[in-house]
Structures are given as structure tokens and as C-alpha cells.
Structure 1
């Protein structure tokens, strides 16, 4: 989904960039489509799946599911490994996804009945290395890129007629044991994470119904949030006995048109995401509003209604940082989405953007006032608008904040 003004587009024709974006999203997608069309415009696809599987949510409990297969062989893992896209551009991500053909079929989420395609998909999902895959579609795939705020974009797709794995998948013994054990999905997720498997591999296993006492197919979007929420809650509990950090710390990064400013405070753990789609951005408005979700040391109540999947992705990166340091802190992540983010690419970019910020050297301050003064310089949206919505800052010394704002208490 790209929000554009047709009148401006007619005048601009992609040359003057009147929409304020660094590239024309329409022309960029046309350019990439021209590059990949000769490769994917066919019914028979043979190539090395990264490996990758997608499960849709529309029509639940009957969902579309299938492998993602590129028409190329060799090491294709880079096509579906978001946590390694730290240096990628949006156009790189679109190209990665445009060359992956989704061969889809509809199945019921209940796995009580045997299904050969599901069994093949489960073997594919367990592999930790690209695996040669043969796929025959009923007709040539539809060439379009579907953006998503949760998962990486989807490229061309078509109804699958036949699908076979052409070689034995490489499956770690640890994974075989966890999949074979009768343990809860939550425990399986944590076990695999602590064994060194990244969450996108675990997401894949959960999506194809390989984890849990009552395994069932889970839409990819739901699996992403479920895994990141499970790991976040696990890490939150693990840091509560650590000592707080000693100073106020401010971190900054910019990634794919998103600006991240993170404030860590020397207090008991709490977390908040404050998100703004700036004027001219994809979902921005003339008067941008601050979206907000938060939690204290007990965790979030219910679901992050305003920031949705971004919340769990940002929180997981913050909690990993704190556990690595063996410290706890009260954390606020400010996410400012600029016009440069011209199409959604998934919450993985939030996960990576926050992680990149926290890997940098922080600016340290001994008072909240000094830290807020620094935030005022770093943020594009007025700090007062953030303060008006921030639950964490409202819980701190009100007199200190009103003094900072120049308001009489």
C-alpha cells in the first residue's frame, strides 16, 4: 500500500520527487519487476529455497500456505534472513522478495489429517540451509509485490500444482528432539532460542505446525508476534534481579527511513514505544499523532493496540541488550517514520533498527533534564508531544518534568 496523490504524480512523473520521498515508489517497483520478470515468469520453478515458507491469515481457519522458491540455485539464504539485512536498502529488500515465488494452496490449520504438501513444507522449514526445491504452478505467477508491516514483502505467487524437495534437508539434532518432544510451544520457542537459533527460524517452525502439544498451522504474521512476545516475556523475567544502569543513556540510529532514539534510565525495568509517522510519510498526516504502548516490570496487559507488532520487535532488542549487560533499566524507544520509508517491509526492520542503535556508543547524562534536553535536539517531532503521551515519564518526578518544560508547578 502506497499513499500517493494522483494529481502530484501526474505532474511529477517520478522525476521531481514532489511527494518528498527519495525515490519514486511506483517507478522503483516497475524497475525491479522488469529485472526479475524474465526469471519468474514461468509455471515450473526449480531452485534453492532459502528455505522459506509463508502462511497467510485470510480465510482462517482455512489458510493459504506454501513454499517460497527462487529460480536460482546455490546459497540463497540472504533472500529470507531479515536479521542479516543490516546494510540493506528498501529496494534491496523488494528485489530479494520479488525473486521468491510463492506456490500456495489452501489447507485447514488442523493437522490431524495427513497432507503430503504439509509434510514436505515441514521438512523444508526444519532445514537450516538452502534446499533444492521443485515446484509446478497451475499457471504463471502473478507478478506483484505485496508490502506488509509485519512480515517481509511477498513477491509473485500462484497456485501450486506439485511441490517436491529435491534433496535431504539439513536438520540439527537439537531441532529434531524439540520437535519430537511433547512440550508446550512456549517452552519449545525458549529452548531453541537459548540453543542459538534465531527467531525467524523458530517462527518458521511454529508457522508450519511443528511446535506445541497441539500443533497446528499458524499464520506467519501471528507467528512473528507470538515468538517475539514469548521471548520478550522470558527475557523480561530474567533481568529483574539485575542492578539498574547507573546513568541516563541516549542511543540513536537511522535505518530504512526510520529514525530510532532510545532512552535508558537508571530505574526498575519498564518499557514504552512511542511512534510517529511524520508528515509526508506513508501513513503520516498534517498533524502527526504519537502512538503509544507500554508495560511495567509485570509485562504488557493484553495486546499492543496502537503500535502492534512494532512493540514486540523493539522490546525484544532492548531486552537482549539489557540481559547481555546483566542490567535492568526503564526504556523508551522513540520511532519516527520519515518519507524515506516509502513502502512497508516488515517489523524486522524495527528489530534491526533498535538493535543497531543499542550497539552504538551512548551519550550519558546524570539527570533526566539533561537527557530530555538531548532528546529535544535529536527528535524531529516536538518533545512536548511525546511527553504528553508517555506513561513512563508521567510516572517520574512530575515537578522535574514541568520544570524542564518551563511550566509552573
Structure 2
């Protein structure tokens, strides 16, 4: 799973002494989850109600792994694949949900025109907004493999797919049919669905399934998540640039699934920065903690967020949604600290939800940036000097204040 899991540390610890510093052993936790669902999935034919859910891999592109996710459960299973509704769930809950979803995987060219009946069935499943009774026949009994990923929610047991059938008609909204058949480019299709109020992960599923856009292609789930969040974020950024500035410095905070999220909104023209650190003992926190970051001004980020990757687009979208709702513009600084309590990667959705919850938890408003920074320090463990060294926005603020000092003989920035 990770380098530390291959070391002598695990052999000495055996999950009992917690020598890695985590509050629970990730290996044993996943083993317990796997054991709890073993009897339910110990067969080649799986019948149940898909949430609905599909997965598209990225390895081997343009020939990728794709398949439906079907649990051995009938009825309302939508909670098994509703990331934006998991705000009150634990990491153990998420691992259990995902372990129930059995994936029947097959290889497919990303060009959907070269697809056959099975892919057409998968696409129909993806377009449904309600669970769909489905049946998969597998070559072997499914195996649960745990791979650490910071992007998509963890994938459950899987095996090669021999056959897949929808045993009832999927519930496909008329608006989805309209967008899919209207030959819209992917970006306007995404925004139309978003503005109509469709769940973000429903849109991601449609993009992955290759039903959006003019030249329709399968899109790996991981790529789809970032693409949809980036597309919506860009549109919202352009919109809020026309709004008035907020009046004060605002500080927000929330802790979610072992992640700390602190947000500062500044009464200045739009810019966004995410500062992130994996604390010692956290999932990917080997060695001394180091602050990583990505940023943008009103023109948007140049290229891809190389350091914070998918977390950047998820965090940005949550703050932009909050500003759009208020019809206000601000300069945005987001701090993310990952603690040892985040013992298993559950997907970038938790960043989306964590920052969203933070934006609903205003701590205080301040007259100066110094006061806001001093308030944020109370919530964070990493020495604040490390954030100051890396932050592009804070460097810009310091330079702006120095210019102001030279012109007006006073300063407020420390």
C-alpha cells in the first residue's frame, strides 16, 4: 500500500502498538472491513441495486478498465455512492460502503463508437438518478485490493466481467436526455446540468461514461472529478469578478475526517491559494512536514495544480460557491493540515465537503490581516512561519503593504 507498510515497523508493531503514530492501524482496519463483507460477495454472480455507480480507470489509456459497481443488496442503495452527502460519516463507514460495491471490470477503448452492448448498458446505468436493479456475472469471485488514492473514493472488490444486465429500466431525467442528445460541447453541458441543480458526482459519472460532449469518449473517474470541479470553478470565478468586495477580513474553520481546514477571506480583488501540509505520522507524511501550495490570480491558474493536485480544485470550488451565494468577491487563502487521524485515503470529495463545511462556520471578522492570521494560528499545528515562507498571497500582501508604507509612512503588516 505504502512504503511504511513494507518496512520492519509493521512487522514489529503487528497493528497493536501503533508505532506509526496513527490512532488506528490502516491495514487491520481494512482487513476488518474486508472480512465483514466477505460472505456477501463470495460468489461469481452478484445481483443488487446499483446506487447507480460506475468506475473508469486510467491505466493503459486509451484502452481503459470500466465497469458497473453493484452491491449484493436490493433497495435504496444511493447512500453507498453519494460523496457530497457523507458529511456525517466516518472513514470506517466510507470504507465499508465502497467495499460493498463489486466492480465487474472490462477493457474498453475510450472511443465509445467502438463499444458494444455491455458499454451501452453501463452508460444507461450512469445516466440514472435512482438505484437500478442490476446483475453482473464475473469470471472469478471478486477480490478486494486496497490502493491508496487521494482522488476517487476507494474502489471495492472486483473481477473480470463476463456479462452485465440492467434488470429494470433506469430513471433518466428528461434534461439529461436533452443534454446528451443535443450535441453540446462538454463544458456547456457540465454547466447546464450544474445550474439545473444536478448532483456534482452525477455530472462526473456522465462525463466518465462518455455521454457528454460532441466527440464522446470515456474519461477516467479521477480525471472526470478534477475536470468537472475545474470547469465549474472557472465559470464561478468569472462570475464573482463582477461582484463587490467583502468589507472585512473573515476567518472560517472546520475539522473533518482528520483534516483541518482554515479559510481567510480578504476584502481585495480575487486570488486563490491552497496551502497544504501532511503532518508527521499522517498517511503520506513521511519525514519533516513540508508546506506545499498552488495559487492563481483573476486570470486563473497556469496549467495544472502540480503540488496540491485535485485538492486545489475541490477546495476552490467550495469557496467560490459560498461567494457566489453572497454575490461578493474576495481574495482567498485556504490552509489544509492532514493529521494522523486521516488514516485511509477516501477521495478528494472529503476536501470538497470539508471546505464547504468550513465556509458555513464563520469564526470571526477582523479589521486587519494580522488579526485574521493570528486567529488562524490557533487552529493549526504546523509552525506558521513555514506557511509565511511559501504563501504567494501573503508575499503579495507584504509587498503591497511595503509600497503603502513608502508612500504613506506607516504599515500594518508584520
Q: Does 1:55 align with 2:56?
A: yes
Q: Residue 76 of structure 1: CA displacement? A: 0.5
Q: Deviations over 1:257-311 (max 9, x none)?
A: 1111111111111100000011111111332111110001111111000110000
Task: Supply the distance in 2 between the matched residues of 1:343 and 1:42 (Cα, whole angstroms).
Answer: 27
3-state SS of paired residue (1:313): helix
3-state SS of paired residue (2:164): strand
Q: Does 1:315 align with 2:316?
A: yes
3-state SS of paired residue (2:137): strand
Q: Deviations over 1:354-384 (max 9, x none)?
A: 0010111331110011111112222111111
3-state SS of paired residue (2:207): helix
Q: Residue 12 of structure 1: CA displacement? A: 2.9
Q: Residue 255 of structure 1: CA displacement? A: 0.8
Gap change, CA 1:404 and 1:92, over 3 Å in 2: farther
Q: Residue 398 of structure 1: CA displacement? A: 3.4
1:155-304 correspondence to structure 2 within 5 Å: 155-304=156-305
Task: Supply the distance in 2 between the matched residues of 1:93 and 1:355 (Cα, whole angstroms).
Answer: 19
Residue in 2 that maps onto 1:364? 365
Task: Supply the distance in 2 between the matched residues of 1:39 and 1:72 (Cα, whole angstroms).
Answer: 9
Residue in 2 that maps onto 1:397? 398
3-state SS of paired residue (1:162): strand
Task: Supply the distance in 1 between the matched residues of 2:341 and 2:41 (Cα, whole angstroms).
Answer: 28
Q: Residue 215 of structure 1: CA displacement? A: 0.5
Partners of 1:65 and 1:106 within 8 A in 2? yes
Residue in 2 that maps onto 1:92? 93
Task: Supply the distance in 2 between the matched residues of 1:340 and 1:364 (Cα, whole angstroms).
Answer: 29
3-state SS of paired residue (1:384): helix
3-state SS of paired residue (1:352): helix
Partners of 1:2 and 1:343 within 8 A in 2? no
Partners of 1:146 and 1:155 within 8 A in 2? no
Structure 2 unaligned runs (5+)?
406-410
Partners of 1:64 and 1:106 within 8 A in 2? yes
Partners of 1:94 and 1:145 within 8 A in 2? no
3-state SS of paired residue (1:135): strand
Residue in 1 that maps onto 2:325? 324
Task: Supply the distance in 1 between the matched residues of 2:21 and 2:225 (Cα, whole angstroms).
Answer: 32
Task: Supply the distance in 2 between the matched residues of 1:363 and 1:21 (Cα, whole angstroms).
Answer: 32
Residue in 1 that maps onto 2:4? 4
Task: Supply the distance in 2 between the matched residues of 1:405 and 1:317 (Cα, whole angstroms).
Answer: 28
Residue in 2 that maps onto 1:339? 340
Partners of 1:193 and 1:199 within 8 A in 2? yes
Residue in 1 that maps onto 2:110? 109
Partners of 1:369 and 1:400 within 8 A in 2? no
Partners of 2:51 and 2:132 within 8 A in 1? yes
Q: Which moved more, 1:234-243 or 1:8-17?
A: 8-17
Task: Supply the distance in 1 between the matched residues of 2:169 and 2:225 (Cα, whole angstroms).
Answer: 27
Task: Supply the distance in 2 between the matched residues of 1:87 and 1:213 (Cα, whole angstroms).
Answer: 38
Q: Residue 114 of structure 1: CA displacement? A: 4.3
Residue in 1 that maps onto 2:138? 137
Gap change, CA 1:58 and 1:227, over 3 Å in 2: same
Partners of 2:398 and 2:413 within 8 A in 1? no
Task: Supply the distance in 2 between the matched residues of 1:374 and 1:159 (Cα, whole angstroms).
Answer: 53
In the superposition, the TM-score normalised over structure 2's length comes to 0.95
Partners of 2:248 and 2:367 within 8 A in 1? yes
In the superposition, the TM-score normalised over structure 1's length comes to 0.96
Task: Supply the distance in 2 between the matched residues of 1:321 and 1:87 (Cα, whole angstroms).
Answer: 20
Task: Supply the distance in 2 between the matched residues of 1:205 and 1:27 (Cα, whole angstroms).
Answer: 35
Partners of 2:370 and 2:413 within 8 A in 1? no
Task: Supply the distance in 2 between the matched residues of 1:79 and 1:292 (Cα, whole angstroms).
Answer: 32
Residue in 1 that maps onto 2:41? 40
